[in-house]
Amino acid sequence: MKKSFLMIPVLLALPLAAQSKEGAIEVSPFVGYNVFDKNQNLKDHLELGGRLGYNFTKNWSLEGTLEFVNTNVNDRSITAYRSGQFRAPMDKVDTYFYHLDALYSFKPESRFNPFVTFGFGGAHYNPKISDRDMSTFDIGVGAKYWLAERFALRFDLRDTFVTEVSPWQKGYQNVSVAVGLVWSFGGKKAPAPIAAVAPAPVEKVVLVVAEEPAQVFVEKVKGMPAKRKVVILAFEDIHFEFDKSTLSPEAKHALKHSIETLKLHPETKIRVAGYTSAAGTDSYNQTLSERRATAVRDYLIEEGLVSKDRLSIIGYGEDRPAEFEGSPKELYSKAAKANMRVLFEVEVK
């Protein structure tokens, strides 16, 4: 019993595909309670039943239903004959309802799927009070709650009109409420999601140089098969102090260590981009970002790491920050340090 209760949250957490599958067959046993029209003189009673349905589309389905109610005559003091009414000396009455219904699902792909249903059928009583079965016309609402891809709980509230021939004649209103289980079989599989096609799919290799020069982290982001590769080297705040564009000895070592990757692709072109924190005027920060990009470019040329014709620079100033600076006046905040950086992009054709 304990294991059964533990399985409930597991089932609720399962990912689900489209539930009301086109072409699927659904089997649904149920138990309910039937409230008879008082003019029929029958006691309200539990009912048992089952449904067999077929989904023509995700939204529309057709199902056959059979219900059984074993009840009794309510007031046995009634003995006079009245059309459609049970009376003494009758006592136990077996009632069978059978009907064919159309069902429309509002949210066929969701875990909770409400629906409406309507249909027609017949009612058979034993002992008989008519020379033939009575006609039924029903309408109802309900919902399915999927616990797994092919297993659900179901709730129904239905109003069934019972009459001799047609709904325009005098008849009886029977209301029933039922809960049951649903098992789904077959049906078309949901199509696999189509991946969005990026304008220029690439494989990116991101090298982030941390405070320790030897710590270089590599993250690969793979897209569709690409004809080009982009390598982005990002330099954190250790490379630049506030309002400075000079590289520290530690930064130079880290840069030299990281740039070894570029030697594997001598045909590449490199654009060095400089950035600043939010403190300072726009014009000053623009100039400072260009100075930082120039400092990195010149160092690469001086050390013979990259030839001059492969390099270009650009400054973004305080635009495109790595982190938002809520208080620009805090010159050495974590966000400010993250924005005092240089990164450059390499395209490998």
Together in a domain, 41 and 174 = yes
| Domain identity same for 33 and 182 | yes
Spatial separation of the C-alpha atoms in residues 151 and 184, rounded to whole Å: 7
Provide the sign of the torsion angle of the four alpha carbons 108, 147, 63, 25, taken in this order: positive
Tokens for 48? 């048992």
| Per-residue pLDDT tens over the stretch 212-221 | 333 333 333 3
Same domain, 86 and 173: yes
Task: State the CATH number of the domain containing residue 241.
Answer: 3.30.1330.60
Question: How many Cβ atoms sit within 10 Å of the Cβ of residue 220?
Answer: 8
Do residues 138 and 25 share a domain?
yes
pLDDT tops 70 at residue 33: yes
- 232 with 279, same domain: the answer is yes
Can you give the pLDDT at residue 241?
63
Q: Are residues 41 and 166 in the same domain?
A: yes
Residue 116: count of CB within 10 angstroms of its CB:
13
Residue 316's SS3 state is coil
> Cβ distance 101 to 127 under 8 Å?
no
d(C-alpha 188, C-alpha 210), whole Å: 52
Q: In this structure, are 168 and 70 located in the same domain?
A: yes
Of 123, 152, 186, the residue that ends a domain is 186
Number of domains in the chain: 2
* Shared-domain flag, residues 168 and 228: no
Does 2 fall in a domain?
no
Residue 25 parent element (H or E): strand 24-35
- The verdict on residue 120 lying in a domain is yes
Distance CA 153, CA 14 (A): 15
Does residue 3 fall inside a structural domain?
Answer: no
Question: Which amino acid does the sequence have at 287?
Answer: T
Q: Which helix (H) or strand (E) covers residue 290, if one does? A: helix 282-302
CA distance 211 to 15: 42
Which amino acid is it at 172? Answer: Y
Q: Which residue has the higher pLDDT, 123 or 314?
A: 123
Q: How far apart are CA 278 and CA 335, in angstroms?
A: 9
Same structural domain for residues 175 and 50? yes
Cα 93 to Cα 76: distance, rounded to the nearest angstrom = 12
Please report whether residue 197 resides in a domain.
no
Give me the CATH number covering residue 82: 2.40.160.20
Does residue 221 lie in a domain region? yes
Same domain, 179 and 283: no
- Does 159 lie in the same domain as 32? yes
Instruction: Answer whether residue 73 shows pLDDT above 80.
Output: yes
The first and second tokens of residue 166, run together, are: 């047609």
Question: CA 171, CA 286: separation in Å to the nearest integer?
Answer: 86
Whether 278 contacts 328, CB under 8 Å: yes
**How many angstroms separate the CA atoms of 270 and 310, rounded?**
6
Percent of the chain topping pLDDT 90: 31
Whole domain around residue 313: which residue ranges?
203-348
User: Which pTM value belongs to this model?
Assistant: 0.50
Establish if 5 belongs to a structural domain: no
Q: Which of 8-17, 77-86, 111-120, 333-342 has the lowest mean pLDDT?
A: 8-17
Considering the domain boundaries, does residue 192 fall inside one?
no
Query: Which amino acid, one-letter code, is at 58?
Result: K
Q: What is the pLDDT of residues 167-213, one digit of tens each?
A: 666 788 999 999 999 999 988 775 555 454 444 444 444 444 333 33
Most confident of 287-291, 326-330, 332-336: 287-291
Same domain, 218 and 172: no
Whole-angstrom distance, CA of residue 136 vs CA of residue 37: 13
DSSP-assigned beta bridge partners for residue 180: 30, 154
